Structure 1
Amino acid sequence: MHNTNELSDEECGHLARILLASRRVTLRHHFFSWVHGPVQSLIPHEILLCGVADESGYLLHERFTACRYFKDDHFHRVIHPGNGLINQMAQEWQVMRVPRLIPALQNDAGGWHARLTDLELKNIAFHGMSWINGQIKGYASFSRVRMPFDGRLALYLDILLPHLIVTLTRVLANEARTSVDSKRPAGLITVREVEVLTWVRDGKTNDEIAAILGLSMLTVKNHLRHAMKKLVVRTRGQAVAKSIALGFLRAQGSRIEPEKMLEQ
């Protein structure tokens, strides 16, 4: 039986390979290969959702998934700043400050099984880090994890989380530098596209944005598609992150503030 506070020689070998490989991660596809390569040796999973806070406290959410069932709609519901699962996990983590492990339970009085199944996550292993002022600095949330939900998984999360956040921060910083150094004109995206991206930043779905702006959902989708094409990105989250880096959007919106976490 493993001591829950120590690693075996084999586990130390896996950890060493993970850390050494992380030093070569500078681009998004490197990060994907890293978490679906070496990191799998300690936490076998299909879905990784993670995020880091910028200087204003705004959480930049990212997803790295090999699961074809986890769609854009699931992602945006999970990261919704109001009733999203990540917001709930972050609030619970800020109270306990320990990994939050929710397995795929068959008999679940709390309703977790139905919710995780609906979101195509199946299970969730969440852990966070905070600034010295108590605000959340970053998080990692693994789902469709294929190992026991016990103290061993909690130990792996505790050890790996700082390296995940540092590595993701390096990727995002590199993308921001590349964006700023590019020669794209200041009028790259239209005022309406910026307006739509502003609501995306604040966690709104296409339906909600359409209702707020008095547009059809198809028009909202077209604005998003055009903005993503101009920004040379593939997802809504990337479009928001790049727009912030380029100065089109302010980094504010779906931040999690400790003093407000018990009000919801």
Structure 2
Amino acid sequence: MQPIVILNPQQQQHLLHAFETALAIGERSQFFLWTQGQLQALLPHRVLVCLQLGPNGAVLHSECFHSGVLDEGLRRSLCDPASGLAVRLQRRYREGAAVPLALCAAAPQGRQQGVPGNLPAELHALGLDNVLAHGSDSLPGGATFFCLFGVAPAPDARHAHCLRLLLPYLHMGLQSLGTPAEGAGTARISARQAQIMRWLREGKGNEEIGQLLGISGLTVKNHLQRLYRQLGVSNRAHAVARCASLRLPDAGPYTEARL
């Protein structure tokens, strides 16, 4: 039997707002902003990994949403579609009772029923001690699975209840985006634009970025204006969200991502 959970008035407000705003999600940047706003208000976490699954349970696509710069090695450890932590948690979840799965690396092993003993140690080594995960049933359009890594504080019955209530909106939001292969176009980001975006995500202004890169603030502004047009956005916050949702890296000769 699931424990009875009573949300306080503020939590109820956050939940209602999350429901209402999720209905407007139609593109990746909107989904990203929703996960970093409404979802964070109810379930504070560091990294959200989303899996899209085919009718046979095979992983079609894995995607990572986060507000800061994420090390590429950590991303692979979490998101790799063959052996990442999210995929292994999904397999364990599927073998269990299909209820939200909570894992705390600092908790005694006996309190984590059905969780392989090496997973808590892996999480701790990655600096993501807590994870909360839940997924949809097998549906005609395929199933989804969501892992919230670095949940703070350690997930309890309230966290699990909120994730259970939010699951339909997470599922609909992610499925409405399709997969990157279904996108309509390609964005090409230059090495300079990638460098600028890296510092933009750190909250630096145009003049600060210019000093760091050895160029003028006006040149930074011109790069950003061109980037806005390429990404189809109108301001800095939307550019950061768009680049994050497209998983564009912070540096490199250039990168391509589906729009």
TM range (shorter): 0.5 to 0.7
1:115 aligns with 2:122: yes
- Residue 15 of structure 1: aligned partner: 15
Paired with 2:134 and 2:37, the residues of 1 have a C-alpha distance of 20
Q: CA deviation at 1:177?
A: 6.1
- Residue 125 of structure 1: aligned partner: 132
Paired with 1:67 and 1:104, the residues of 2 have a C-alpha distance of 22
Paired with 2:88 and 2:256, the residues of 1 have a C-alpha distance of 22
Paired with 2:35 and 2:166, the residues of 1 have a C-alpha distance of 11
- Residue 226 of structure 2: aligned partner: none
Q: CA deviation at 1:73?
A: 1.9
Q: CA deviation at 1:58?
A: 3.8
- Residue 139 of structure 1: aligned partner: 145
Paired with 1:11 and 1:129, the residues of 2 have a C-alpha distance of 23
Q: How many residues in Structure 1 have an aligned counterpart in Structure 2? A: 186
Q: CA deviation at 1:108?
A: 5.5
Paired with 1:122 and 1:10, the residues of 2 have a C-alpha distance of 27
Greater mean deviation of Cα atoms: 104-113 or 75-84: 104-113
- Residue 163 of structure 1: aligned partner: 169
TM-score between the two structures when normalised by the length of structure 2: 0.60
- Residue 212 of structure 1: aligned partner: none
Cα deviation, 1:63-106, whole Å, max 9, x if unaligned, reads 111243x3222222223344321222111111221111012407
Q: Which amino acid aligns with 1:20?
A: E
Alignment of structure 1 residues 1-264 onto 2, 5 Å: 4-54=4-54, 57-68=58-69, 70-96=70-96, 97-105=98-106, 110-131=117-138, 137-172=143-178, 178-179=183-184, 182=185, 234-235=247-248, 242=258
Q: CA deviation at 1:234?
A: 4.1
Q: How much is the aligned-residue C-alpha RMSD, in angstroms?
A: 3.3
User: Would the alpha carbon gap of residues 60 and 83 (structure 1) be closer, same or farther in structure 2, given more than 3 Å must change?
Assistant: closer
Q: CA deviation at 1:149?
A: 1.9
Paired with 1:84 and 1:131, the residues of 2 have a C-alpha distance of 21
Q: CA deviation at 1:47?
A: 0.9
Greater mean deviation of Cα atoms: 155-164 or 100-109: 100-109
Give structure 1 stretches of 5+ with no counterpart: 185-231, 246-264
User: Would the alpha carbon gap of residues 136 and 93 (structure 1) be closer, same or farther in structure 2, given more than 3 Å must change?
Assistant: farther
Q: CA deviation at 1:40?
A: 1.6
Give structure 2 stretches of 5+ with no counterpart: 111-116, 187-242, 250-254
User: Would the alpha carbon gap of residues 136 and 153 (structure 1) be closer, same or farther in structure 2, given more than 3 Å must change?
Assistant: farther
Paired with 2:50 and 2:67, the residues of 1 have a C-alpha distance of 15
3-state DSSP class of the match of 1:45? coil
Paired with 2:125 and 2:22, the residues of 1 have a C-alpha distance of 33
Q: Is the 8 A contact 1:116 1:122 kept in 2?
A: yes
Cα deviation, 1:106-155, whole Å, max 9, x if unaligned, reads 7658344431133343321111112169x971111001111342211111
Q: Is the 8 A contact 2:5 2:161 kept in 1?
A: yes
Q: Which amino acid aligns with 2:18?
A: I
TM-score between the two structures when normalised by the length of structure 1: 0.59
User: Would the alpha carbon gap of residues 117 and 148 (structure 1) be closer, same or farther in structure 2, given more than 3 Å must change?
Assistant: closer
Paired with 1:73 and 1:44, the residues of 2 have a C-alpha distance of 23
